[in-house]
A and B are shown apart, each in its own frame.
Chain A
Amino acid sequence: MLFNSLTYVFFLPAVVLVTWALPARFRPAFLLVASYTFYANWNPPFLALIVGMTAVNYVLGVSQARRMPRSRLLLVLAVAFNIATLGVFKYVGLLDTTALSIAHAIGLSASWPVVHLIVPLGLSFFAFEFIHYQVDLYRGFDAIRSPINFALFPAFFPTQIAGPIKRYQDFDAQVRSHPSFDPRRFLEGLELIALGMMKKIGLADTLLPIADNVFAHHAQAGVLDTWVGVLAFSFQIYLDFSAYTDIGRGSAQLLGYVVPLNFRAPYLATSLREFWRRWHMSLSFWLRDYLYIPLGGNRHGPWRTRLNVLATMALGGLWHGAAWHFLAWGLGHGLALAANREGGLVHLSHWRMPSWLTIPAAWAATQLTVLLLWVLFRAPSAGVAFAVWQGMVGLSSGESILSAADRWTVVAIAMGVLSAQLILQRVNPRQLLLQSPAAVVLRPAYVTVLVLVAAQFASLNGVVHRFIYFQF
């Protein structure tokens, strides 16, 4: 079920109404049924896979919690099970085609049917939440005893398909405390949903055809249009994914739950480290806690640290999709992060410049790196990414493929988003409004206007586009 679909417009209010009408002790069970219905709406047979993964993880978790000291074997079993499930559905096809390509490259006349499995929606998120659960149990945290509460943790529909990746300690504590209806949280939830709808339908879906046009016709696009297309994609993916998170967080709040923040104005970051603390935060923190630190983190000297960063980012890239260009994107970020570390080769402190220029220069360098690396993420292959980069430096014989209106749309959205975030970093009108009597009119007006603008764009676009992160 898409958050921006008509079905969800009816599904969410129905679930919210029933949830608050039910006695508190029945709510988790009802939310689990609603969440499984939400999942089955996409592909009912895959619900069995999710239920199966949940059952295995529950049994292994309960067994682990009974042991003191905790069993390394059980941890290995649990992690291997989750990685294997993810691997089978997501990466077998990639390995298969790669092996075939290598065989052909070295002159073998090998031929076998290539496996193309459908990747169950949200599998990567399910797997990462289960792995976090099993690792934390091994580290000594207590297990979720109630099977219903345990099943609800990964299945919770507001975060089911594309996160944020939750921590079970926070979530389960909320489930067990049976949150009561809080008008403040509810209103904030509505505001988040309205904002998310506007970001997705009004902005991200407006940028989508522009970015698609440039990446599809990169050979014909001139320098300016290539830059505009890449910029369009960088804002499209941010607005699309942060809109999904807003709607997910808002939906959770309507049900009385708070789920983690995933974005904090990433395009204002002045270093790549800061960027990753602001972009897809729940994934960044997961990678830090369950990959980077177990690999040794920064405890074994600068070169090992850089290697750990590289490995973490490469795997993070591959997590996004079973394609080598995602790995290259992750590696690109890893290399840039490693090079950009204190004492690294290209750290900004090596450059002598006036203090007033330091922050703008750091911002420009960071965002330029991010922008260039988005090409690897968006392009269907590394070859296309190289061609787009060539186009960006004028090495392709391109012409004008975008209209002036398209170019101005991209610039206006990019400037608008950055300006709004800069202002909001200094002034928070919401905080000022919370205590003001004007809130009674202004907050509903804010929600209404956002919904109307989203409806206007939905009507203009005429098509409901999937969220980009649904594929991961």
Chain B
Amino acid sequence: MSSAERELHLARRSLFVLLAVAMLAQPLSALAAYRVLEHIEAGADTWSLWVRYASSAAPDVLFVGDSRVRQDVDVVGISLELSAQAGRTVTVSRLGLSNADPALLDTVLYRVMSRASRPRTVVISLAEFAFNASYQPDRTADYWQLSFPPDAGFLRVALAHDWNRSRLAAGWAVPLVAHAPILAQGVQCAVQPSASCSAAAHLHDERMTQATRDLILTYYINLYLRDFKWSETELHDLLSAAERVRASGSRLAFVVMPINGIAELSEPFYTEYLEHMRTLAAANKIPIADLHAAVDKSDWSLWADPSHLNDRGAALFAPHLVAVVSRAT
């Protein structure tokens, strides 16, 4: 074999190896990325929450919403209370996806309601920031994480909701595109752990301090509620999610979760927001419970931060949610 032929032969084999690596990297990146994600987010990532939910039969009652649902809904307490009332076991579950907006809730409810086993009651938690047209969270990663197992209907709903459709489709076509950022974050967290590496962990017995309160309120006002403009799209997506639940024969209710300081800082916006939500719910005959002031705001031992309760606060809050479930229609 001449040297040119040898070089050609080696180059051809190298290309085959490279192709094999590129193809293997697709499923491997998914496997690795979700392990990394679960570790970094302490199980509070969309993928882990969804897999946990989908791994068993649907509960009788499902709370769905943003991180407040994950933090404030005491599923054990509510289940015990509802079971005692009903004289049988009532199962309760929660899907609290960080920063979830109605578009993401609509997508996740598509998945929930298209399963063979569906919850009898769905309580959708409303978050004020989600209706701000000036705040557009990047949702593509969540849609990727909800993609397994793939089904055409889900792909259609996700594509309709994501404002970065080409990136979403790119991640489905080449999974490495979707998973590389997660793996990179994993490497970064392993090399240089920072607060953002465990930001979503469950806040069991954390107690709100003045510093946490000030920090989060500033963050909330300056990022989530800045230049608030009603988002018609998100309002439409909320009604779409509600319709999805009702079309499946399940009962539905809206709930506004407890907050501490956000409403006071954002007056008169917050009053207008609550009024808008009440009007919307009434127009669509959906029961709504305004619980934003249901937990004692002066007792900071119940709060992890201004928008989340700790375990003790959640336990005390549970009876309010039991009442919401009972009113669902």
Contact = CB atoms under 8 A, between A and B. Distances in A.
B294 interface: no
Contacts of A441: 17
Contacts of A167: none
Interface in B300-324: none
B170 A455 contact: no
A436 B15 CA distance: 15
A126 to B, nearest CB: 28
B188 interface: yes
Contacts of B12: 183
A439 B18 contact: no
A193 to B, nearest CB: 12
Interface string A444-457: 10011000000110
Interface stretch (A5-13, A114-122, A335-343): A5-13
Interface in B186-204: 187-188
Contacts of A109: none
Contacts of B17: 440-441, 444
Nearest to B4: A184
Given A440-B17, A455-B180, A460-B184, A6 B8 contact: no
B184 A434 contact: no
A439 B17 CA distance: 11
A440 B13 contact: yes
A348 interface: no
A327 interface: no
Interface string A1-20: 00000110110000000000
B11 A6 contact: no
B18 A447 contact: yes
A interface, size bucket: 20 to 34
A10 B168 CA distance: 13
Contacts of A460: 184, 188
Chain A binding site: helix, strand, loop or mixed by DSSP? Answer: helix
Interface centre among A182, A183, A437 (most CB of B within 10 A): A183
A459 B10 contact: no
B14 A440 contact: yes
B167 to A, nearest CB: 6
B6 A459 contact: no
B85 interface: no
A190 interface: yes
Contacts of B8: 182-184
Contacts, number: 70
Contact of A6 (B14, B167, B187, B188): B167
Contacts of B173: 10
A205 to B, nearest CB: 14
A182 B21 CA distance: 20
B114 interface: no
A287 B108 CA distance: 60
B15 A459 contact: no
Interface in A423-472: 434-437, 439-441, 443-444, 447-448, 455-456, 458-460
Given A455-B184, A459-B181, A187 B14 contact: yes
A441 B21 CA distance: 11
A182 B12 CA distance: 9
B210 interface: no
A439 B180 CA distance: 26
Contacts of B185: 459
A186 interface: yes
B106 to A, nearest CB: 25
Contact of A10 (B11, B170, B180): B170
A187 B7 CA distance: 11
Contacts of B177: 6, 9
B3 A184 contact: no
A7 B184 contact: no
A435 B7 contact: yes
Contacts of B6: 435
9 contacts: A9-B170, A184-B8, A186-B11, A187-B11, A435-B10, A444-B18, A448-B21, A455-B181, A460-B188
Interface of A: 6-7, 9-10, 182-184, 186-187, 190, 434-437, 439-441, 443-444, 447-448, 455-456, 458-460
Interface of B: 3, 6-8, 10-15, 17-18, 21, 166-167, 170, 173-174, 177, 180-181, 183-185, 187-188
9 nearest A-B pairs in the assembled complex, by CB-CB distance: A459-B184, A183-B11, A444-B18, A184-B11, A455-B180, A183-B12, A459-B181, A444-B17, A443-B14
Given A184-B7, A187-B14, A187-B15, 7 more contacts: A6-B166, A9-B177, A10-B170, A435-B7, A441-B17, A458-B184, A460-B184
